Amino acid sequence: MSDMPVSNRVRKVVKESEEVRTIFLEDNVPGAIPGQFVMVWLPGVDEKPYALSYMDGEAAVTVQRRGKFTDEIFKLKKGDYIGVGGPYGNGFDVDVCKRPCIIAGGIGIAPLAPLAEKLARKKPIIIMGAATKEKLIFRERMEKVCKVEHTTDDGSCGRKCFASDILEEVIEKCRVDVVYGCGPEMMLKRVFEICRKNRVECQLSLERYMHCGLGVCGSCAVDGYRVCVDGPVFSSKQLSRMSEFGRFARLKYGKKVGLSEYYAWRE
Amino acid sequence: MRNPTVLSSGFLGVNVEMLKRVVQEGAGAVTFKSIGPKVKSGHRNPTVLAYEWGMINAVGLPSPGYKDMEGELARMKEVGAPVFVSIYGASVEEFREVAEAVAGYNPAVIELNVSCPNTKAEGMVFGCSEKHSAEVVAAVKDVAGKVPVMPKLTSQALDVGRVAKACEEAGADAIAAINTVGPGMLINIEAKKPVLDYKRGGISGPAIRPIAVRCVYDIYEVVDIPILGIGGVTEGRDVIELMQAGATAVGIGSGIYYRGIDVFKKVCEEMKIWMKENGYKDVKKLIGVAHE
């Protein structure tokens, strides 16, 4: 039993938008399912968790530029060595749904795109939201799979609103039974509440600062749940038991702060 | 304590809800992650690795400092089992300052981390020396009131028994042994770099169990106070082994990685079976029998 970054190489880098790159890996991450993540290690820089945005023979992570670490990721080119540990976490449960809806906010589409492909036969409805049309990544990839509703903050593509603003309408119109979501936590909180009101199951992927990824250190705690091992995907039932969901997160040194302070630090 | 298993310091103990969860998963007592005098952000990732026979970590004692932990400490009664609070400092004075604040919340035990191998100023520099360990214990006893004080020792000391004896003489109410061993290092040979960002890290897990057993055995020979045995426990048999060496209770940490967060429940069940098969009714009867 061994869990640490395994040497891998960059196979290719795809520019998804000005601020987003997909890094394809030379070696696959065997056994991964949608919603699971890997720890990406840049020797001498840092190591951080990223959802797999491609799997089944062509593992990749899709990264949004945020700070020092992602600046270094943006410098990667074909053939560069990186360390990859995992897959980690539980992933989405795809057996529970008959009529799934997938809702993504911004880069939250990363773990949901392979999920949409896996669920293609169940004809999922995808709601993709972003600030602008340019930031709606994987648009063509998703349109190949199924019906897509777009929303943008500025109205440059689809409807001018947040993704969660049209969720209730989609749930009713399409008789959705399970909602899968990933995105900013304030959006996820709204998704959770809409699902509860409409008595629809949801599975939402959360994010927290993470040290070990192995379930031992506690840095990614949300109440009594560990995002790295118990999650990152949580069910309606689990989310309803969390007092910190949508409200609090911990900084690197363990201080509990409001979500807005947490997101300001992450930027 | 309803059973002899304790969540070791450094694992999961960031908030009351997580400690509650660990109690639900079977722990007899739980420990808050080490709290220091002020904000300490810990080391950069990678910080925790698992290799074939154990784990190696250099998390680096991240802590918001005791002032920002007061909200959690004030709620420790909600946990529903005895709560230990681990503290650290870079000087005797810092230990005293944190202990004084923590003692006000009346935890079951204040554990003194004088043995972390992953920091320069805090930790092992105290635990390797009889004199410095005893100074920390005496200073903390001075401000801890009725709260029992338990230094956590390192196997890196030349004679861990002598350090334990010095702590007992300085007023320690119990001894915890051991912290992680080393430090050690792992190198990624393709990257040609140590994998831990801090390069060196403390080794835990099954690899160190024999060292823990020996240290507990050595300490039991020389002190009369109870011993919390820690190091590489993953099964019920391992708890029994440490208890036979002299431990009254046993810490579990890396075992969470090997067997899941319900390792406490599993270990207790396995102990029960062993005890039944071997004619033991009272777990206390196991303590120190390997010395007879």
- The pLDDT tens digits for B149-176 are 999 999 998 899 999 999 999 999 999 9
Q: Could you count the other beta carbons within 10 Å of the beta carbon of residue A84? A: 24
A240–B contact, CB cutoff 8 A: no
Half-sphere exposure of B119 (CA within 13 A, CB side): 24
Whether residues A53 and A109 fall in one domain: no
Residues 6+ apart with CB under 8 A from B29: B1, B5, B6, B7, B81, B82, B83, B84, B108, B249
Query: Does the annotation list B42 as a binding residue?
Result: no
CB contact under 8 A, B18 and A254: no
Whether residues A62 and A108 fall in one domain: no
**CA distance readout (Å), A23 to A13, A58, A62, B154:** 5, 10, 6, 43
* Confidence class for position B120, pLDDT limits 50, 70, 90: low
Q: What is the pLDDT of residue A247?
A: 93
> Do β-strands A100-105 and A178-182 pair in parallel, antiparallel, or remain unpaired?
parallel
State phi, psi for B57 to the nearest 5 degrees: -140, 150
Which B-chain residues 9-68 have CB contacts (< 8 A) with chain A? 10-15, 17-18, 20-21, 24, 33, 39-42, 44-52, 55, 57, 59, 62-64, 68
* Mean pLDDT for the stretch of residues B87-98: 93
The runs of H, that is alpha helices, within A25-138 are 68-74, 109-118
CB A100 within 8 Å of CB A119? yes
Show which residues of B are catalytic. 116
Q: Cα(B62)–Cα(A220) distance, rounded to whole angstroms? A: 13
Residues 6+ apart with CB under 8 A from B119: B60, B61, B88
Whether residues A80 and A143 fall in one domain: no
Whether residues A76 and A111 fall in one domain: no
Residues 6+ apart with CB under 8 A from B104: none
Number of H helices, E strands in chain B: 10, 14
Whether residues A120 and A248 fall in one domain: yes
Q: What is the pLDDT of residue A255?
A: 87
- Work out the mean pLDDT of chain B and round it to a whole number: 94
Residues 6+ apart with CB under 8 A from B65: B35, B36, B37, B38, B39, B40
Whether residues A35 and A63 fall in one domain: yes
Count of domains observed in chain A: 2
Whether residues A19 and A123 fall in one domain: no
- Please report where in the chains the tokens 């033991």 appear, as a residue: B280
Residue A176: give its domain's CATH number: 3.40.50.80
Rg of chain A's alpha carbons, rounded to an integer? 17
Whether residues A140 and A197 fall in one domain: yes
B129–A contact, CB cutoff 8 A: no
A7–B contact, CB cutoff 8 A: yes
Whether residues A191 and A258 fall in one domain: yes
Whether residues A262 and A135 fall in one domain: yes
Whether residues A136 and A16 fall in one domain: no
* Mean pLDDT for the stretch of residues B79-108: 95
* Confidence class for position B63, pLDDT limits 50, 70, 90: confident
Q: What is the pLDDT of residue B62?
A: 83
Q: What is the pLDDT of residue B134?
A: 94
ipTM of the complex: 0.92
Is the pLDDT score of B119 beyond 80?
no
The encoded tokens of residue B81 equal 């089992």
Residue A53: give its domain's CATH number: 2.40.30.10
Which range of residues forms the domain containing residue B152? 5-291
Q: What percent of chain B has pLDDT over 70?
A: 98
Query: Does the annotation list B178 as a binding residue?
Result: yes
Which range of residues forms the domain containing residue A53? 6-88
Q: Using CA coordinates, name the residue in chain B closest to A47.
A: B45
Nearest to A12 by CA among A111, A80, A110: A80
pLDDT in tens, B268-286: 999 999 999 999 999 999 9
CB contact under 8 A, B46 and A41: yes
In a domain, A148, yes or no: yes
> Do β-strands A20-25 and A60-64 pair in parallel, antiparallel, or remain unpaired?
antiparallel
Burial of A52 from C-beta contacts in 10 A (0-12 / 13-18 / 19+):
buried
Distance from CA of B65 to the nearest CA of A (A): 9
Q: Cα(B183)–Cα(B167) distance, rounded to whole angstroms? A: 23
Nearest-5° Cα angle at A153, A138 to A142 = 15
CB B95 within 8 Å of CB B87? yes
* Mean pLDDT for the stretch of residues B189-216: 96
- Please report where in the chains the tokens 């770099």 appear, as a residue: B193
CB contact under 8 A, B18 and A216: no
Distance from CA of A233 to the nearest CA of B (A): 18
In a domain, A40, yes or no: yes
Count of domains observed in chain B: 1
* A47, A81, A218 member nearest B11 (Cβ): A218
In a domain, A1, yes or no: no
| Omega within 30 of 0 (cis) for the link into B178 | yes
B176–A contact, CB cutoff 8 A: no
In a domain, A127, yes or no: yes
Residue B99: give its domain's CATH number: 3.20.20.70
CB B218 within 8 Å of CB B270? no
Counting one residue from chain A and one from chain B, the pairs whose CB atoms sit within 8 A come to 131
Q: What is the pLDDT of residue A57?
A: 82
The runs of H, that is alpha helices, within chain B are 16-24, 66-73, 92-103, 124-127, 130-144, 160-169, 209-222, 236-245, 255-259, 263-277
Residue that terminates a domain, selected from A63, A88, A113:
A88
Nearest to B37 by CA among B84, B99, B114: B99
CB contact under 8 A, A5 and B57: no
| Chain B residues close to A253, C-beta within 8 Å | 39-42, 62-64
Whether residues A107 and A175 fall in one domain: yes
Task: Return averaged pLDDT per consecutive 10 residues of chain A, 267 residues in all.
Answer: 90 96 94 96 95 93 95 96 95 94 97 96 95 95 93 95 95 95 97 97 96 94 97 97 94 89 86
The encoded tokens of residue A264 equal 């300001």
Identify the residue among A26, A242, A253 best suited for mutation to test binding to B, counting B beta carbons within 10 A and taking the highest. A253
Is the pLDDT score of B115 beyond 90?
no
Residues in chain A: 267
In a domain, A94, yes or no: no
Query: Does the annotation list A220 as a binding residue?
Result: yes
3-state secondary structure of A27: coil
